[in-house]
Amino acid sequence: MSLRVPLLLLTVCVPALYAFPDGAPAEACLRNMEPNHSGAKSRNPLDSPFAVFRHTSPGRVTVTIRSLTGNAYMKGFMVQARDPLTGKAARGQGAWLPIANVKGLPECAAVTHADRGQKTEAAVTWEGRTDLAFYVTIVESYSSFWADVEALEQGGLSGPSGFGSGPSGFGSGPGPHLGGLPSGPSGPSGPGPLARVPPSGLSALSAGPSGVSGFGNSFHPFAGKKK
């Protein structure tokens, strides 16, 4: 009997720790994109070691999540397109372009990670209506995540520390924002939109998808390291 109890506890706990390794469920859209991690709460965007920004081109919007420190890696993410007037998912107003290791959630106009590997960067592209709002959730660990963060336009930030121009350095939208990166010279093309942990620091990060400027190896650390 004493041997069976520890085995039972192990069986129950492991699925909780590694829930949804292949991406968030569509139900997460109904919880303000907040992971169902028991007891864990979304962290303050100002404490984030990640930048979240968007780049709009004719008929397309690319949303990028990028690590700003040498030791910050995300294990999961979710990006959703929303109608800025209603705040509802932009179903039927466009679609996410398919890429490897990312799966779509068309029922809530979102995409999420499709593996549990550590990532330093992720970029996903929406094709369709471009005057939408895009919100992001980043999971660093089971207890550390940032939920429902709005992506700001790349190069359009004028506030301190890379934040928008609204009150307290935030953008003018209703939701929280993470720091963005300024526009700059285009970097060399990289291996793909999902950058794994680089072998020699962040200088090895990919440039992201073609057509997105300012992604080269020039590094702009607007946010400090996580406390």
pLDDT at res. 132: 98
- Point out the least confidently predicted range of 40-49, 63-72, 94-103: 40-49
Of 151, 124, 110, the residue nearest 27 (C-alpha)? 110
Q: Name the range with the highest mean pLDDT among 34-48, 99-113, 198-212.
A: 99-113
Burial class from Cβ neighbours inside 10 Å (0-12, 13-18, 19+) for residue 148 reads middle
**What residue segments make up the domains of the chain, in order of their start?**
4-204
Distance, in Å, from the CA atom of 74 to the CA atom of 139, rounded to the nearest integer, reads: 6
More confident residue, 23 or 186: 23
Provide, rounded to the nearest whole percent, the portion of the chain with pLDDT above 90: 42
Give residue 142's identity as a one-letter amino acid code: Y
Q: Tens of pLDDT along 111-149? A: 999 988 899 999 999 999 999 999 999 999 888 899 999
pLDDT interval class at 56 (50, 70, 90):
very high
CA torsion sign, 11 to 103 to 26 to 50?
positive
pLDDT at res. 91: 95
Q: Tens of pLDDT along 67-86? A: 998 689 999 999 999 999 99
Of 39, 138, 121, 36, the residue nearest 80 (C-alpha)? 138
Residue 25 has pLDDT above 70, yes or no: no
Residue 44 has pLDDT above 90, yes or no: no
Distances (CA, A) of 179 to 65, 194, 213: 10, 20, 17
Q: Tens of pLDDT along 183-199? A: 333 333 333 455 544 33
pLDDT at res. 200: 33
> The whole model's pTM is what?
0.62
Both tokens of 208, joined, read: 């992201």
* CATH code matching the domain that covers 4-204, chosen among 2.160.10.10, 2.60.40.4060, 3.20.20.80, 3.40.630.10: 2.60.40.4060
pLDDT interval class at 97 (50, 70, 90):
very high
pLDDT at res. 196: 44
Q: What is the mean pLDDT of residues 167-171?
A: 31
